[in-house]
A and B are shown apart, each in its own frame.
Chain A
Amino acid sequence: MPDNMQTIYIWIVLAPLIGSIIAGLFGKKVGRAGAHWATIIGVAVACILSMIVFKHMVIDGAKPFNGTVYTWLVSDGVRFEVGFLIDKLSAMMMVVVTFVSLMVHIYTIGYMHDDPGYQRFFSYIALFTFSMLMLVMSNNFMQLFFGWEAVGLISYLLIGFWFKKESAIYANMKAFLVNRVGDFGFLLGIAGVLMYFGTLDYATVFANTGPVVGKTIQVFPGSDWSVLSLICISLFIGAMGKSAQVPLHVWLPDSMEGPTPISALIHAATMVTAGIYMVARMSPLFELSETALSVVIIIGAITAFFMGLLGLVQNDIKRVVAYSTLSQLGYMTVALGASAYAAGIFHLMTHAFFKALLFLGAGSVIIAMHHEQDMRKMGGLRKYMPITWITSLIGSLALIGTPGFAGFYSKDSIIEAVGHSHIPGAGFAYAAVLSGVFITALYSFRMYFLVFHGKERMDEHTRSHLHETPWVVTIPLILLAIPSVIIGFIYVGDMAFGDFFEGAITVLPKHDVLGALAEEYHGPFSMMFHSLLTLPFWFAAAGVALAWFLYMKRPDIPNIIQEKLRFVHQVLDNKYYADRFNEIVFAGGSRLLGKVLWQNGDVRVIDGVIINGTARTVGIISGIVRRIQTGFLYNYAFAMIFGLMFLLAVFVLR
Chain B
Amino acid sequence: MFVDWPILSLVIWLPIIGGIAVLATANESRPMQARGLSLLVAILTFILSIPLYSDFHLGTHLMQFQENTRWISAFNINYHLGVDGISMPLILLTTFMTVIVIVAGWEVIKFKQSQYMAAFLIMEGLMNGVFAALDAALFYVFWEAMLIPMFIIIGVWGGPNRVYATIKFFLYTFFGSVFMLIALLYLYFKTGSFEILAYHQYKFGLGPQTLVFIAFLLAFAVKVPMWPVHTWLPDAHVEAPTGGSVILAAIMLKLGAYGFLRFSLPITPDASHSLDWLMIGLSLIAVVYIGFVALIQQDMKKLIAYSSIAHMGFVTLGFFIAWRIYANTGEYKGVVMGIEGGMVQMISHGFISGALFLCVGVMYDRMHSRMIKDYGGVVNTMPVFAAFMVLFAMANTGLPGTSGFVGEFMVILSSFKANFWFAFLAATTLIIGAAYTLWMVKRVIFGDVTNDGVAKLQDINRREFMFLAILAFMVLLFGIWPAPLLQVMDASVVNLVAHMTQSKL
Q: Do residues B435 and A590 form an inter-chain contact, with CB atoms below 8 A?
A: yes
Q: Is A78 interfacial (CB 8 A cutoff)? A: yes
Stretch at the interface among B193-201, B242-250, B286-294: B286-294
CA distance A181 to B433 in the complex (A): 11
- Distance between Cα atoms of A649 and B377 in the complex (Å): 81
Is the beta-carbon distance between B438 and A176 smaller than 8 angstroms? yes
Decide yes or no whether A187 CB sits under 8 A from chain B.
yes
Interchain CA distance A385-B172 in the complex, whole Å = 73
Instruction: Say yes or no: B293 contacts A594, CB within 8 Å.
Output: yes
User: Is the C-beta of A552 less than 8 angstroms from some C-beta in chain B?
Assistant: no
Which of A142-150, A463-471, A491-499 participates in binding chain B?
Answer: A142-150
Within 8 A of A (CB), among B387-430: 390, 394, 397, 399-401, 405-406, 409-410, 412-417, 420-421, 423-424, 427-428, 430
Min CB distance B170 to A, Å, is: 12
State A591–B289 Cα separation when bound (angstroms): 12
B486 touches A149 (CB 8 A): no
* Residues in A neighbouring B421, C-beta threshold 8 A: 219
* C-alpha gap A170/B168 in the complex (Å): 39
Tell me whether A77 and B486 are in contact (CB under 8 A). Answer: no
CA A153 – CA B401 in complex, angstroms? 11
* Bound Cα distance A190, B400 (Å): 14
Query: Using a CB-CB cutoff of 8 Å, which residues 67-84 of chain A contact chain B?
Result: 70-78
Given known contacts A150-B401, A590-B292, A163 and B379 CB-to-CB distance under 8 angstroms: yes
For A602, the closest partner residue in chain B by CB is: B231
Most buried by B among A72, A156, A183, A187: A187
Decide if B475 is an interface residue (CB 8 Å cutoff): no
Known: A177-B435, A217-B420. A187 touches B377 (CB 8 A): no
B481 part of interface (Cβ distance < 8 Å): yes
A595, B297: Cα distance in complex, Å: 9
A544 in the interface (beta carbon within 8 A): no
Report how far A409 CA is from B410 CA in the complex, Å.
44
B427 touches A194 (CB 8 A): no
CA distance in complex: A76, B413 (Å): 12
Residues of B within 8 A of A78 (CB): 337
- B483's partner among A74, A177, A181, A198 (CB-CB below 8 A) is A74
The reply to whether A150 and B400 form a contact with Cβ atoms under 8 Å apart is yes
User: What 0/1 readout, one digit per residue, does chain B (479-494) give for beta carbons within 8 Å of chain A?
Assistant: 0011101110010000
What per-residue 1/0 map shows which CB atoms of A151-194 lie under 8 Å from chain B?
00100110010011010011001001100110110011011101
Q: Closest A residue to B234 by CB, please name it.
A: A602
Most chain-B Cβ atoms within 10 A of its Cβ — which of A76, A145, A194, A606?
A: A76
Given A72-B483, A169-B442, A187-B430, residue A606 in contact with residue B228 (CB < 8 A):
yes
Interface 1/0s, chain B 274-301, versus A by CB < 8 A? 0000000000000001001111110000
Residues of B within 8 A of A184 (CB): 427-428, 430-431
> Binding site of A, secondary structure by majority: helix, strand, loop or mixed?
helix
**Segment of B61-69, B81-89, B328-336, B453-461 engaged in the interface with chain A:** B328-336
Interface residues on A, range: 35 or more
Minimum distance in angstroms from A506 CB to a CB of chain B: 25
B residues less than 8 Å from A217 (CB atoms): 420
Which B residues between 261 and 277 are near A, CB-CB below 8 angstroms?
none
* B380 at the binding interface (Cβ < 8 Å): yes
Contacts of A579 in B (CB 8 A): none
A607 contacts across to B, CB distance below 8 A? 231
Complex-state Cα separation, A188 to B426, whole angstroms: 10
What's the nearest-Cβ distance from chain B to residue A188, in Å?
Answer: 6
Query: Is A601 in the interface zone, CB < 8 Å from B?
Result: yes
Contact of A594 (CB < 8 Å), options: B292, B329, B397, B405? B292
Does B448 reach chain A (CB closer than 8 Å)?
A: yes
Q: Which of A73, A166, A597 has the most CB of B within 10 A?
A: A73
CB pair B412–A590 under 8 Å, yes or no, is no
Query: In whole Å, how far is B235's beta carbon from the nearest beta carbon of chain A?
Result: 9
Closest to B428 in A: A184
Query: Is A590 a contact of B400 with CB atoms below 8 Å?
Result: no
Q: Are B486 and A73 in contact (CB under 8 A)?
A: yes
Given contacts A176-B434, A177-B435, contact A597 B292 (CB under 8 A): yes
B34 to chain A, nearest CB (A): 35
Selected contact of B490 from candidates A75, A198, A590, CB within 8 Å: A75
Residue ID in chain B nearest A78 by CB atoms: B337
Within 8 A of B (CB), among A467-509: none
Query: A181 to B421, alpha carbons, bound, how many Å?
Result: 16
Cβ of A598 within 8 Å of any chain B Cβ, yes or no, is yes
Please indicate the chain A residues that have their CB under 8 angstroms from the CB of B379 in the complex.
163
Choice from A146, A153, A164, A191 contacting B394 with Cβ under 8 Å: A153
Contact indicator B427/A187 (Cβ below 8 Å): yes
Chain B: which residue is nearest A145 at the CB level? B400
A75 touching B399, Cβ below 8 Å: no
B162-183: CB near A (< 8 Å → 1, else 0) gives 0000001000100000000000
Q: Among the listed A77, A163, A181, which residue makes an inter-chain contact with B446, where contact means beta carbons less than 8 Å apart?
A: A163
Q: Which A residues touch B380, using CB under 8 A?
A: 163-164
Contact partner of A149 (CB less than 8 A), chosen from B293, B400, B481, is B400
Nearest Cβ on chain A to B483's Cβ, whole angstroms: 5
Give the residue name and chain of the A residue nearest to B338 (CB).
Answer: A76
| Known A78-B337, A149-B400: A194·B296 in contact at CB below 8 Å | no
Complex CA–CA separation, A336 to B269 (angstroms): 49
Interface mask (A374-402 → B, CB under 8 Å = 1, otherwise 0)? 00000000000000000000000000000
Q: A177-B438, A195-B334 given. 14 additional CB < 8 A pairs?
A: A70-B481, A71-B483, A74-B483, A149-B399, A149-B400, A176-B434, A180-B434, A181-B431, A191-B412, A194-B416, A601-B289, A602-B293, A606-B228, A611-B168
Give 23 A-B contacts (CB < 8 Å), ordered by A residue.
Answer: A73-B406, A142-B400, A149-B401, A149-B405, A150-B399, A150-B401, A163-B445, A164-B377, A187-B409, A188-B412, A188-B424, A190-B413, A191-B412, A195-B416, A590-B292, A591-B295, A591-B296, A594-B292, A594-B293, A594-B296, A597-B289, A597-B293, A606-B228
Top-6 shortest CB links A-B: A191-B416, A594-B292, A76-B337, A594-B296, A146-B400, A76-B336
